[in-house]
Structure 1
């Protein structure tokens, strides 16, 4: 799997949260800001569950991003896991994430 560029500063997070587009899906909130390079951040708060559950949720979201990555425009992406992500199947989450990315017009 390809290593993605990760966010390095709080300013990057702040700019995406304030200026970027946002879309709520079942299990995840997607933030997107058009940029000249692809960067990704995956966030799961303690509300999602214990560390094992949070890490699994983040791994799943990174895997889904890797699946769609070649079809996506350059930009900064933040995926915030919601509580219900633990109850969703991989295929259902994939469908919801794809729908959300289409709504944000992230596909090439």
Structure 2
């Protein structure tokens, strides 16, 4: 995933937390705000384990999101991993992410 797609500043995350529409499943929470640019951030709480586990979850989420980028509407996305995400394998995280994106109808019309 290109660096230009990343949410980096705390203020950007706070904006999405305050204004975003949320949708959740067992492993993930998705928050989304419409906007002119595509940006995404991944958040993993300290409840999810030690740093190694949290970083692994973030890497898996980034990898699962990368192929979706051309098919999605522009805006700011924040994925918050829950404790169940640490035990989930890559395919399961990918399915969960796809489920949340479809539930929020964030795919472009021509991508369906």
Q: Same fold (TM over 0.5)?
A: yes
Deviation at 1:68?
0.9
Q: Distance in 2 between matches of 1:55 and 1:103?
A: 26
Deviation at 1:98?
0.3
Which range moved further: 48-57 or 11-20?
A: 11-20
Q: Distance in 1 between matches of 2:57 and 2:4?
A: 17
Q: Which runs of 5+ in 1 are unaligned?
A: none
Taking structure 2 as the reference length, what is the TM-score of the superposition?
0.88
Which range moved further: 29-38 or 1-10?
A: 1-10
* Equivalent residues of 1:28, 1:81 under 8 A apart: yes
Q: 3-state SS of the aligned residue for 1:77?
A: strand
* Equivalent residues of 2:8, 2:41 under 8 A apart: no
Deviation at 1:31?
0.6
Alignment of 1:80-91 (within 5 A): 80-91=80-91
Alignment of 1:43-58 (within 5 A): 43-58=43-58
Taking structure 1 as the reference length, what is the TM-score of the superposition?
0.91
Higher percent of residues as helix: 2
* Equivalent residues of 1:26, 1:93 under 8 A apart: no
